[in-house]
Amino acid sequence: MDDIVCNRCSLLCDDVLAQIRDMETKSLGLCRLGHTHLERVAHFSKIDAISRKNGVENGLNLDEALTMAAETLISAKHPLLYGWSRCTNETISEGLSLAKTLKAVFDSSASMGLSQSMSHNIHNMKLETDLEAVQNNGEFIIYWGSNPVESSHRHASRFTVFPRGENVPQGVESRITGVVDVRETETMKMGNHRIIIPQGGDSELARALIDDLTGKTPLKTPILGLPAATLVGISQALRKSDFTVIFYGSGIINSGKTAENLSLLAELIQTLRDLGKNAYAMPMWHEPSDMSVIKSSKKLTSTHLAIDFSSGKPTQLSAKTTFQRLTAKEFDVVLVVGTDAFAVLPGQAARGLTSSNIIYIGSGGSLMDQWAQLSLRVADDIMSASGSMTRIDMKDIQLKSWSGSKMASQNVFDVITRLHRLIEARLKD
């Protein structure tokens, strides 16, 4: 078996092995999500392209498909370049460059959550650390509105709760784990402190903990229906811990009070720091390339949200979000790259997308692949394994070429680069 880097989720596991022989996929260490992903994309490594018109499918070679894609994009009045959720840093940079050439809007699944936290002061305050630091030092791990058992299976075993570290030699027995959510989750099974709060109660809980830690209002009465003793337990654990990390997820971002929640989490971390403790807040998002998109976007503009190149300069998409514009059917051509957009977009935006002329570049077998007017099937980056991706803690992980890479003659980066060069040449003419 060969060493590979899994690109199924934002952990980008680089300690796993895989082998493909006689169409059979075997792996060691890959979680169910990773293995299923590898198994699926391994069978779609051969490049081909399909165009669809009036229900009739036509097979195309790569050159024909690229020409068709270039013409469609050049003639578009309001193009959108969307997706990028399983792409390398290099592909995303090329995609941003293509968006500039086309004066298009560039957006990704990061807009649905991660971008909001990375645009917030919680990120500017530099409250993050890297996962290795958590593994080596983390004493109190809190999953707040995040559920790794569902989305990033190896998060707890590889970095946060279970592994032994330099200052936590007994692993799980040296650490305390807390889980805060609006329902009982599977993650709670590993929690020493399990806090179920009403929907939208995050800020009230954070405020109560801050007030107790600062001595302003000691916890003596129930908060959010939780007994004071339960909350005192978590507050005392925060006081005792010399290294606390809060992994906050979609429950914090999508609760309707995003800015308030993030501000209070940042204040809670700052309160712990004022008490002389090491404390961090880290986003928990499962899409593997969301952090890559944010890092690449940051090189062009201060925004982490959708970028509008229609003026020729990168600016933050204003007035309406991409989803609102998709819902209003404002994009006539949408280039979807490396993402099954129908599976990730909110319902109304996905419905709006169906009225656009869709060009899809990505692995075969997805809903997008089956719907797009032009679908260019390329090898997934877990197969081609060329380039780098950015892990959820902003650490770059280099993909590792392996025997399966021989099955992937061209990847998304190659195709996007060729498409971009073709478009540039046509525009010059």
Partner 1 sequence: MAFATKLALGDVNADDCPPLLEPGFEKNLKTIRELTAPLLSTAETGVKLDEEKCTGCGNCVVACPVDVAVEPPTGIGKAARGDVTVFRIDNGVAKIINLEKCRRFPPDRLNCRVCEQYCCTDAIEIW
Contact status, residue 75 vs residue 62, Cβ threshold 8 Å: no
Provide the minimum distance between the beta carbon of 68 and partner 1 in the complex, in angstroms, as a whole number: 37
Please tell me whether residue 146 binds partner 1 under the rule CB under 8 A.
Answer: no
Please tell me whether residue 149 binds partner 1 under the rule CB under 8 A.
Answer: yes
Provide the minimum distance between the beta carbon of 39 and partner 1 in the complex, in angstroms, as a whole number: 8
Which CB atom, from 191 or from 201, has the smaller least distance to partner 1?
Answer: 191
Please tell me whether residue 2 binds partner 1 under the rule CB under 8 A.
Answer: no
Contact status, residue 29 vs residue 15, Cβ threshold 8 Å: yes
Q: Which of the stretches 51-59, 163-171, 348-356, 412-420 binds partner 1 when contact is defined by CB under 8 A?
A: 163-171
Please tell me whether residue 289 binds partner 1 under the rule CB under 8 A.
Answer: no
Task: Copy the structure tokens of residue 34.
Answer: 């990773």
Q: Which of the stretches 22-30, 221-229, 283-291, 343-351 binds partner 1 when contact is defined by CB under 8 A?
A: 22-30
For residue 59, the surrounding DSSP H or E stretch is strand 56-60
Please tell me whether residue 40 binds partner 1 under the rule CB under 8 A.
Answer: no
Which three-class secondary structure state does DSSP give residue 216? coil
Please tell me whether residue 36 binds partner 1 under the rule CB under 8 A.
Answer: yes
Among 313, 131, 279, 314, residue whose Cα is nearest residue 206: 279
CA count, 13 A, side-chain hemisphere, 250: 12
Contact status, residue 301 vs residue 315, Cβ threshold 8 Å: yes
Please tell me whether residue 156 binds partner 1 under the rule CB under 8 A.
Answer: yes
Residue with tokens 């570049």: 361
* Type of residue found at 321: T
CA–CA dist 134, 385 (Å, integer) = 27
CA–CA dist 166, 175 (Å, integer) = 12
Which CB atom, from 69 or from 284, has the smaller least distance to partner 1?
Answer: 284
CA–CA dist 143, 145 (Å, integer) = 6
Please tell me whether residue 22 binds partner 1 under the rule CB under 8 A.
Answer: no
Please tell me whether residue 425 binds partner 1 under the rule CB under 8 A.
Answer: no
Q: Which of residues 343-362 bind partner 1 (CB under 8 A)?
A: none
Chain centre distance of CA 167: 29
DSSP state for residue 411 in the 8-state scheme: B
Which CB atom, from 35 or from 277, has the smaller least distance to partner 1?
Answer: 35
Which CB atom, from 34 or from 314, has the smaller least distance to partner 1?
Answer: 34
Q: Which of the stretches 27-35, 59-67, 108-116, 232-240 binds partner 1 when contact is defined by CB under 8 A?
A: 27-35
Provide the minimum distance between the beta carbon of 375 and partner 1 in the complex, in angstroms, as a whole number: 27
Which CB atom, from 32 or from 299, has the smaller least distance to partner 1?
Answer: 32
CA–CA dist 429, 423 (Å, integer) = 10
Q: Which of the stretches 33-41, 303-311, 407-415, 420-428 binds partner 1 when contact is defined by CB under 8 A?
A: 33-41
DSSP state for residue 302 in the 8-state scheme: S
Provide the minimum distance between the beta carbon of 107 and partner 1 in the complex, in angstroms, as a whole number: 30
Please tell me whether residue 392 binds partner 1 under the rule CB under 8 A.
Answer: no
Provide the minimum distance between the beta carbon of 190 and partner 1 in the complex, in angstroms, as a whole number: 6
Task: Copy the structure tokens of residue 365.
Answer: 């077998």
Please tell me whether residue 165 binds partner 1 under the rule CB under 8 A.
Answer: yes
Task: Copy the structure tokens of residue 133.
Answer: 């630091």
CA–CA dist 422, 81 (Å, integer) = 17
Provide the minimum distance between the beta carbon of 149 and partner 1 in the complex, in angstroms, as a whole number: 4
Which CB atom, from 161 or from 415, has the smaller least distance to partner 1?
Answer: 161
Task: Copy the structure tokens of residue 251.
Answer: 């429950």
DSSP 349-390: HHHHHTTSEEEEEE-TTSHHHHH-SEEEE-B-HHHH--SEEE
Please tell me whether residue 16 binds partner 1 under the rule CB under 8 A.
Answer: yes
Please tell me whether residue 15 binds partner 1 under the rule CB under 8 A.
Answer: yes
Provide the minimum distance between the beta carbon of 163 and partner 1 in the complex, in angstroms, as a whole number: 3
* Type of residue found at 220: K
- Number of residues interacting with partner 1: please give it, by CB under 8 A: 35
* Type of residue found at 96: L
Please tell me whether residue 23 binds partner 1 under the rule CB under 8 A.
Answer: no
Residue 50, beta-bridge partner list:
59, 375
Provide the minimum distance between the beta carbon of 395 and partner 1 in the complex, in angstroms, as a whole number: 15
Phi/psi for 272 (5° steps) reads -65, -40
Query: Using CA of residue 151, residue 119, residue 101, residue 388, what is the dihedral sign?
Result: negative
Provide the minimum distance between the beta carbon of 135 and partner 1 in the complex, in angstroms, as a whole number: 6
Q: Which member of 171, 200, 233, 365 binds partner 1 (CB under 8 A)?
A: 171
Provide the minimum distance between the beta carbon of 5 and partner 1 in the complex, in angstroms, as a whole number: 12
Which CB atom, from 84 or from 159, has the smaller least distance to partner 1?
Answer: 159
Instruction: Give the binding site for partner 1 (CB under 8 A).
Output: 13, 15-17, 25-36, 135, 149, 153-154, 156-159, 161-165, 171-172, 186-187, 189-190
